[in-house]
């Protein structure tokens, strides 16, 4: 039997099963030739000993671990939590093992990929946006396939799947205008975010096509607190917007809280508000937030699909988001 203090070895499994060590190895090698009788003996012995095969020799031989690292940003943002859930589920359904790594920033993603290369991961996926050429270069040096969501840049070893942010920005401009908006405001996300840049550009383009200007702009950071502060500053002046688009749902929810607490304004009677991401809180009765669902499951499926077969670095795929209109843009009759 196995000696105390360490896991059982293949030699001990072979001895208990009455077979050779090579027979044990073949039993745990997918596609290897082994008789049904031998397989049964080996599996029974392995179960009795609690044996698990050591995958490291196979990884060294094939240079494939079957492990895909999921690098996540702050889970305080429900968008990242949803992306993690979707990536984990989709990868496991594809027969991959998932390694979870926390990285708060895009630059931390580049560092994480460099570290993960030493663990022989097959690939890396992440909802963090890549916007820096330095990070692209760092990924290329590792020669590990990396697929991200909503990135501005790709390289020989990186690809991306994006939401059609600009088209959504144009669409929400038309929606708010059709619902009676006359003075339009926008609260932005981080300046270096591709999603932010595209959503704002689309919103401005949509307003310009309607012949109306952007009346007010606030700066946020995709967080609730910054959305609250930006809305408080925006609505402190005399020319308040009556239609507000926010770069994401947390920003929009923060803005709604500020409108109510600081100014006693009602949504949508006094101000219509729309966001982006369709996080769970957007559907709560307290907010009823009109938003865009990025269709994370579809984006993640495409991202994982890029890892199957021959790698094609530099690929960019786009997914059309779904408009989910709720009470925050529906004026009472």
Enter the pTM of the model.
0.80
Dihedral angle over CA of 126, 200, 329, 242, nearest 10: 140
Q: 71 and 119 in contact (C-beta within 8 Å)?
A: no
Q: 277 and 248 in contact (C-beta within 8 Å)?
A: yes
Q: 241 and 211 in contact (C-beta within 8 Å)?
A: no
Q: How far apart are CA 234 and CA 228, in angstroms?
A: 10
Q: What is the DSSP letter of 223?
A: S
Q: Which domains does the chain have, with CATH numbers?
A: 10-54 (1.10.260.40), 62-163+296-321 (3.40.50.2300), 165-293 (3.40.50.2300)
Q: How far apart are CA 244 and CA 247, in angstroms?
A: 10
Q: 186 and 245 in contact (C-beta within 8 Å)?
A: yes
Q: What's the pLDDT score for residue 325? A: 97
pLDDT per residue, tens digit, the chain (333 aa), is: 444 557 788 788 889 889 888 888 788 776 678 888 998 988 898 888 887 766 555 554 545 567 899 998 888 888 989 999 999 999 999 888 898 888 877 678 888 888 888 777 889 999 988 888 999 999 999 899 999 999 989 999 999 999 999 999 999 999 999 999 999 999 999 998 889 999 999 999 999 999 999 999 999 999 999 999 999 999 998 889 999 999 999 999 999 999 999 999 999 999 999 999 999 999 999 999 999 999 999 999 999 999 987 899 999 999 999 999 999 999 776
Grouping H, G, I as helix, E, B as strand and the rest as coil, residue 101 is: strand
Q: 275 and 248 in contact (C-beta within 8 Å)?
A: yes
Q: What's the pLDDT score for residue 2? A: 45
**Structure tokens that stand for 219 in this block:** 């700066």
- Give the HSE-up count for residue 236: Cα atoms under 13 Å, Cβ half-sphere: 7
Q: What's the pLDDT score for residue 1? A: 44
Q: How far apart are CA 170 and CA 295, in angstroms?
A: 18
One-character DSSP codes across 131-170: --HHHHHHHHHHT--EEEES-S--BTTEEEEEE-HHHHHH
Q: 154 and 314 in contact (C-beta within 8 Å)?
A: yes
Q: 171 and 325 in contact (C-beta within 8 Å)?
A: no
Contacts of 203 (CB under 8 A, 6+ apart): 169, 170, 172, 173, 184, 186, 214, 245
For tokens 């609250």, name the residue: 228
Q: What's the pLDDT score for residue 63? A: 53
């Amino acid at each position: 039997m196995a000696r105390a203090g360490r896991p059982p070895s293949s030699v001990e499994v072979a001895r208990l099963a009455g077979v050779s060590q090579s027979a044990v190895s073949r039993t745990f090698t997918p596609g290897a030739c082994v008789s049904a009788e031998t397989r049964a003996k080996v599996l029974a012995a392995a179960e009795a000993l609690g044996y698990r095969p050591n995958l490291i020799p196979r990884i060294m031989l094939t240079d494939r671990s079957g492990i895909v690292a999921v690098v996540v940003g702050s889970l305080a943002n429900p968008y990242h939590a949803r992306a993690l859930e979707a990536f984990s589920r989709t990868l496991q359904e594809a027969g991959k093992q998932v390694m979870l790594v926390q990285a708060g920033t895009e630059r931390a993603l580049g560092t994480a990929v460099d570290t993960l290369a030493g663990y022989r991961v097959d690939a890396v996926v992440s909802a963090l946006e890549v916007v820096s050429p330095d990070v692209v270069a760092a990924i290329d040096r590792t020669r590990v396939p990396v697929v991200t969501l909503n990135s501005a840049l790709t390289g020989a070893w990186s690809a991306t799947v994006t939401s059609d942010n600009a088209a959504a920005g144009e669409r929400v401009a038309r929606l708010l205008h059709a619902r009676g908006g006359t003075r339009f405001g926008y609260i932005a996300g981080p300046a270096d975010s591709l999603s932010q840049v595209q959503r704002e550009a689309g919103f401005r383009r949509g307003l310009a096509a309607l012949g109306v200007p952007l009346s007010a702009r606030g700066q946020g950071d995709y967080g609730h607190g910054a959305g609250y502060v930006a809305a408080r500053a925006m609505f402190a002046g005399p020319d308040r917007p009556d239609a507000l688009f926010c770069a994401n749902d947390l920003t929009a929810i923060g803005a709604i809280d500020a409108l109510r607490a600081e100014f006693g304004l009602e949504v949508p009677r006094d101000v219509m508000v729309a966001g982006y991401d369709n996080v769970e809180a957007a559907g709560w009765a307290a907010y009823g937030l009109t938003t865009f669902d990025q269709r994370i499951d579809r984006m993640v499926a495409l991202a994982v699909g890029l890892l199957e077969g021959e790698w094609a670095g530099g690929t960019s795929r786009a997914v059309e988001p779904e408009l989910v209109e709720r009470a925050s843009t529906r004026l009472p009759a």
